[in-house]
Amino acid sequence: MPNDLKAEQSVIGSMIMEAVRSFEIVTDAGITEAHFYNHHTAIMFAAAMQIGVTCDLVQMRDQLKKEGMLETIGEQFIHDCADESFVSHLQYHCDILKDKLHRRKIIMSAHNAIDDCGKDLQPIEIASEMAAVAVEISDTRPSIDKAQIIADSLVLFDNAYNGIVSGVPLPWDEFSKKVGGIQRRCVCPLLGRDGAGKSFMVTKILSYLGRRGIPALSMPFEDGADRQMRRMAGCIGGYATGDVERAYFCDDFGRYHKFDHEAFDRKKQLALQSMEEVAAMPIYFEDSCMTVEQIRVVAGKYKRKHKIEIMFIDGVKDIIPSKGENATKQEEHISRVMVQTAKELDIAIVPVCHLTDIPEDTMIQRRNMRGAKSQFHNARQVLIYQNAGIQDNHYLIGENTIALHMEKNNYGRESMLILEKDFDHCDFAEGRKLGY
């Protein structure tokens, strides 16, 4: 298995000969006992950590003797480690240890996958385990820089004063400022009844982000990338996507008519221009159903390659189960991995979830919420798509009125936005106020 004994001895030697400087570097690098392949260096690392920053040759000998390991390791091996002490090269040697451990994990993952292929396991389960190792290896966590936090905070404050939200902005300016946008490093589920229009709203948000040049990844498991792209084009071009798809249009009296050749040609040309505009946007699509571990890997790829700031998963119920013996456990596992992914990649994740068993004529509230419970509890922000029971003394409420409700927000205000839906154009305009 891949290893580098000289690098391991150098790390141990540095911890013995110059403990104060070395312990800080080793700790920041995240070195653990698992990084040492050699049995003797692994024991000595554990002993050094037990002693702490006062470690020296005498204390190392005493600690090993106390543990009954001095004769096993031998005086010569201890002195060999001390001779390899190069604190100036310690960071480099720590990087070698991490590299070798990663290689060993890849090899073990491959061996386990080969063994699992002979068992009664689904290929997707085997691939998910390998994907989890890939994510772990690609995960690099720099130490927290408090001075940088202060500098970033000042920028955040100035941006807020100048009307720039801290999170990923939403198409409705005042609402976005009130709630702070959708925060990065955060999972913000969009919850609502099945078939109420949540996918259309996601299309509206993606179109807005695309025009602002904000990179985003969309996983439209339910409708597919092709339909979502056509809807985005209709939203941007201001035409009804269904008209072009069916070659029929609806007049003011609700009657359908087939386009004449010239009118259809104009519509098709507008659709082409709009779709080309969508294709040029930094909006990326993945619509093949996958496990949450695979989603994690794919999100990491788009983060590294395209610097995505937000990811939408439209169809959480279509995520392939990889862990958990029942639906509740599977949902909890999916939620947990999403939270980890958002933090590790510094992106916002918006899973679109269906709620069940809610009375048709009432607003969705925590007390009557069914389905997607773990998505709600693990989230720091929660958006609810309200399509019934809406009451507001300041707005006209009609059959096309819906509300976007930031029902939970650990990073800003809770707020409700009244909107008028237009599914034909994938548009959600702010509602009309009474008296206007």
Domain annotation covers residue 72: yes
pLDDT computed for residue 386 by the predictor: 94
**The domain that contains 276 carries what CATH number?**
3.40.50.300
Instruction: Examine the domain organization and report whether 103 and 169 are in the same domain.
Output: no
On whether residue 191 sits in a domain, the answer given is yes
In a domain, 140, yes or no: no
Which range of residues forms the domain containing residue 172? 158-430
Can you give the CATH number for the domain in which 105 is found?
1.10.860.10
Host H or E run for residue 406: strand 401-409
Same domain, 173 and 107: no
Each residue's pLDDT tens digit in the chain (436 positions)? 999 999 999 999 999 998 888 998 998 888 999 999 999 999 999 999 999 889 999 999 999 999 999 999 999 999 999 988 888 889 889 999 999 999 999 999 899 889 888 888 788 778 877 877 776 676 555 567 788 889 888 988 888 888 888 899 999 999 999 999 999 999 999 999 988 999 999 999 999 999 999 999 999 998 899 999 999 999 999 998 888 888 887 777 778 788 888 888 998 999 999 999 999 999 999 998 888 888 888 898 899 899 999 999 998 888 888 766 677 788 888 888 899 899 889 999 999 988 877 888 888 887 666 655 555 667 889 999 999 888 888 888 888 999 999 988 988 788 999 999 999 889 999 988 886 5
What does the pLDDT read at residue 124?
77
Helix, strand, coil abundance in the chain, percent, nearest 5: 55, 15, 30
Compute the distance between CA of residue 278 and CA of residue 235 in angstroms, rounded to an integer.
10
Are 199 and 276 in the same domain?
Answer: yes
- How far, in whole angstroms, is CA 128 from its chain's centroid? 17
Amino acid at site 115: D
Residues 21 and 69 in one domain: yes
Do the domain assignments include residue 26? yes
pLDDT value for 32 = 93
Q: Is 203 helix (H, G, I), strand (E, B) or coil?
A: helix
334 membership: H or E segment, kind and range: helix 327-345
- pLDDT for res 277: 96
Q: pTM of the full predicted structure? A: 0.69
* Contact of 390 with 397, CB cutoff 8 Å: yes
| Number of domains forming the structure of the chain | 2
Q: Are residues 216 and 286 in the same domain?
A: yes
Same domain, 167 and 283: yes
- Classify 383 as helix, strand or coil: strand
The pLDDT of residue 382 is 92
Instruction: Single out the residue in 56, 91, 120 at which a domain terminates.
Output: 120
111 and 196 in a single domain? The answer is no
Query: How many CA atoms lie less than 13 Å away from 380 in the CB half-sphere?
Result: 20
